[in-house]
Amino acid sequence: MPTEQLSERSEGARRLENVVIRFAGDSGDGMQLTGDRFGAQAAAIGNDVATLPNYPAEIRAPAGTVAGVSSYQLHIADHDIRTPGDQPDVLVAMNPAALKANVAELRPGGVIILDTDSFTVLGLEKAGYDIDPLTDGSLDAFQVHAINLTGFAAAAVADHNLKRKDAARTKNMFALGLVSWMFSQQIEDTIAYLQKRFASKPDVQAANVSALRAGWIYGEASEAFANVYEVKPAPLPAGTYRHMKGNKAVAYGLVAAAHQAAMPLFLGAYPITPASEILHELAALASNDVRSFQAEDEIAAIGAAIGGSYAGMLGVTVTSGPGMALKAEALGLAVIMELPLVIVNVQRGGPSTGLPTKTEQSDLLQALYGRHGEAPMPVIAVRSAADGFDAAMEAARIALAYRTPVILLSDAYIANGSEPWRVPEVEELPFIGIDLATEPNAVDADGNPIFLPYARDPVTLARPLAIPGTPGLTHRIGGLEKADLTGAVSYDPDNHDLMIRTRQAKIDNIDVPPLEVDDPSGPPGSGADVLVIGWGSTWGPIGEACRQVRAEGMKVAQAHLRHIVPLPANLASVLSEYHTVLVPEMNLGQLAGHLRRETLIDTVGYNQTRGMPFRTAELASVITRVIQGIDEDASGATGTKPVGDVGARLAAISEAGAAKPAARAGTATASQHDVTREAGR
């Protein structure tokens, strides 16, 4: 089908400000690719896009079961958005399990597109349906389009010489074509993508393109859809944009940092979900002088990175929580040796193996305190997928300028999520290079020039770095305490105390920007009474929730911490201007405790650890309750107790435990309910 015909229609499309679409199917159905391509298409026509991939930890959970459902949610809008949306307006379900896991979250009146090919007796049974939901009236609240996606896809690719199973696998592209038509999106970019991706397999390449086009044409020809929709471009600031995933943004930020420091980038890493993708991205960039090394374990990964730093590279290691735990001893060594190093922790659900593919913010205290001895390290948090670039550059800047390891916290939501990213001009990036020592920096008692590796810059307290190969500056460093200035081994008590305080002072004095408050109603003290402060990936949901609350006529202020160590100097004075400070976190209050320790200000926590980001509506409701609490009662709904429904759930569990005979059945029901909810998000 010629392209011109494909791009003909868009007159008469109903305009939407925003829409939330979720593609769901079996782990092997290619839903992540489908969602990713839809997001790229939306981004290419100028929509603002935020995405939420969600998939099981197993590579292939049992096919057709709820446990094996993989989904990809996208929020596309004609205005600035920060979250992937709470409730889907459109659900594409490739099998009964995908329907079952997701339908409860669909907006009433929303659209369901499902693949009838999989709604067989066996398919329904695997999904746990006793009765076919297509016939029992349970979907009456929705607009259901039951289409044999697999059958149409197979027919569309019949000429391409594929095995039946491979032909059926193109159903995701058929679905993508159909939904692209429905939302007035062009598919040319995806065709180009498929041609590149399957360049080595011409049959597969041609079949996927055919299926994609067939889906588009089906939408146009079948007249099954009463409406075609359109989301106009969002008014973004001028510039070149790119659809950017969080892990890729961090990788690019590191490459740019090394470029702007005029040093090679050296990555030591060990595969771990959800951080491996950064290793993959960097491993492919040898042409940009990126050196990557897959080590035998997490400890060797950071060991090699430290070795690289010592040898004059910008040393980096990337990991997730369990790997971070293994690196703790080496982090202490990097602290005492005072070498530049960036450690990226893409947080996931913990403790232990926890929820490897789900998001959480529960490694904050590990980042702050997870080493023995007094071992202070700067901690920086990424706030969104596109922000990964700037945050990584900032981490590298501090690491180099202050000769210190820096922890950069990301999380699984940021890592896999994507949004438009304005590509910076190389000229606008800061230069972050440092001068390596090349000459002696002191004289001994006899007037001979000597090198003191622990003499310090009076402003930054950074020590000079002399890399191997520099004549005349040979010296040894290590884990034993160093004498001030000379770096020789020293067991002197006063020296140890001095060195501990000096290392602490160096981190405390790092130059970080002041905390800024977003409050249209006025500056701190004369605007809102409630400040919502967050760190990391809660930036998006908190921002959207604040907008929603303001739209309802209430006042609320938002602040976000990029630098957690050291904290902005004005933090305490800003917080003290508000009646109530609300801290939503995907943990049990780690930042809240840190803020109390550092500022002596009590905050209100809102905490959940469900492996999924906050929903806007949920946070807006919490903020509203906190604001209204202040209006009704000066003491308010404050205090440090979490506002969530955890108490109710704990009570339910203990009730079930008390009623012994019914306990098992009751608990099982509760946990099944949870599993379904999780799988659906």
Is 237 an interacting residue with respect to another protein (CB under 8 A)? yes
How many beta carbons lie within 10 A of that of residue 392, not counting itself?
28
Site string (414-453) toward another protein, x via CB under 8 A: ---------xxxx-------------x---xxx-xxxxxx
Tell me the window of 88-96, 238-246, 369-377, 379-387 that interacts with another protein (CB under 8 A).
238-246
Hey, what are 664's tokens? 């098992």
**Total of chain residues touching another protein, rule CB under 8 A:** 82
Structural tokens at position 550 = 């303001």
Evaluate whether 327 touches 317 at the Cβ level (below 8 Å): yes
Binding of another protein at residue 312 (CB under 8 A)? yes
Contact between 285 and another protein (CB under 8 A)? yes
Of 13, 168, 477, 588, the one binding another protein (CB under 8 A) is: 477
Which of 304, 355 has the CB closer to another protein?
Answer: 304
Q: Which of residues 598-637 bind another protein (CB under 8 A)?
A: none
Tokens of 435: 């001068």
Region binding another protein by CB under 8 A among candidate stretches 8-16, 69-77, 311-319, 551-559? 311-319
Rama region for 289: left / alpha / beta (φ>0; ψ in -120 to 50; rest)? left
Contact (CB, 8 A) for 400 and 530: no
Residue type, 439: E
Among 351, 373, 430, 478, binds another protein (CB under 8 A): 478
Q: Which CB, 39 or 376, lies closer to another protein?
A: 39
Nearer to another protein, 305 or 656 (CB): 305
Which of the residues 288 through 307 are near another protein (CB under 8 A)? 288-289, 291, 293, 295-297, 299-307
Omega before residue 453 within 30° of 0, cis = no
Positions in 316-345 near another protein (CB under 8 A): 329-330, 333, 337
Residue 255 is a binding residue for another protein (CB under 8 A): yes
Q: Does 310 bind another protein (CB under 8 A)?
A: yes
Cα separation of 468 and 308, whole Å? Answer: 11
User: Which of 602, 614, 610, 609 is CA-nearest to residue 641?
Assistant: 602
d(CA 506, CA 218): 64
The answer for residues whose C-beta is within 8 angstroms of residue 11's C-beta and 6 or more apart is: none
The least CB distance from residue 301 to another protein, in Å, is 8
Residue 472 touching another protein (CB under 8 A): yes
Question: Site residues for another protein, window 95-134 (CB under 8 A)?
Answer: none
Q: Report the residue from 59, 199, 238, 658 that binds another protein according to the rule CB under 8 A.
A: 238
Residues 6+ apart with CB under 8 A from 171: 29, 94, 115, 117, 149, 150, 153, 154, 211
Among 189, 577, 618, 678, binds another protein (CB under 8 A): 189
Q: Which of residues 127-166 bind another protein (CB under 8 A)?
A: none
Choose the binding region for another protein from 100-108, 241-249, 394-402, 648-656 (rule: CB under 8 A).
Answer: 241-249
From residue 293, alpha-carbon distances to 303, 304, 316, 342 in Å are 11, 8, 10, 15
In the bound state with another protein, the residue whose beta carbon lies nearer, of 233 and 666, is 233
Integer Cα distance of 402 and 308 in angstroms: 17
Instruction: Give the nearest distance from C-beta 499 to another protein in angstroms.
Output: 15
Q: Verify binding: residue 236, another protein, rule CB under 8 A.
A: yes
Closer Cβ to another protein, 95 or 418, answer by number? 418
- Chain residues 8-67 in contact with another protein, contact rule CB under 8 A: 40, 43-44, 46
In the bound state with another protein, the residue whose beta carbon lies nearer, of 109 and 469, is: 469
Min. distance of Cβ 255 from another protein in angstroms?
7
Q: How far is the CB of 443 from another protein (least distance, A)?
A: 8
Residue 167 or 300 having the CB closest to another protein: 300
Minimum distance from residue 453 beta carbon to another protein (Å)? 7
To which H or E segment does residue 670 belong?
helix 660-680
Cα 299 to chain centroid distance, Å, stands at 24
Q: What is the DSSP string of 98-152?
A: HHHHHGGGSPTT-EEEEEGGG-SHHHHHHHT-SS-TTTSSTTTTSEEEEE-HHHH
Count CB atoms within 10 A of the CB of residue 514.
11
3-state per-residue secondary structure call for 314-381:
EEEEEECHHHHHHHHHHHHHHHHHCCCEEEEEEECECCCCCECCCCCCCCHHHHHHCCCCCCCCCEEE
Torsion angle defined by CA atoms of residues 332, 281, 388 and 383, in that order, rounded to the nearest 10 degrees? -90
Shortest distance, position 49 Cβ to another protein, whole Å = 12
Q: Pick from 49, 313, 381, 409: which binds another protein (CB under 8 A)? A: 313
Please report, as residue ranges, which positions from 483 to 512 form the binding site for another protein (by CB under 8 A).
486-489
479 binds another protein (CB under 8 A): yes
Which residue, 2 or 469, has its beta carbon nearer to another protein?
469
Q: Could you tell me the two tokens for 235?
A: 């008014």
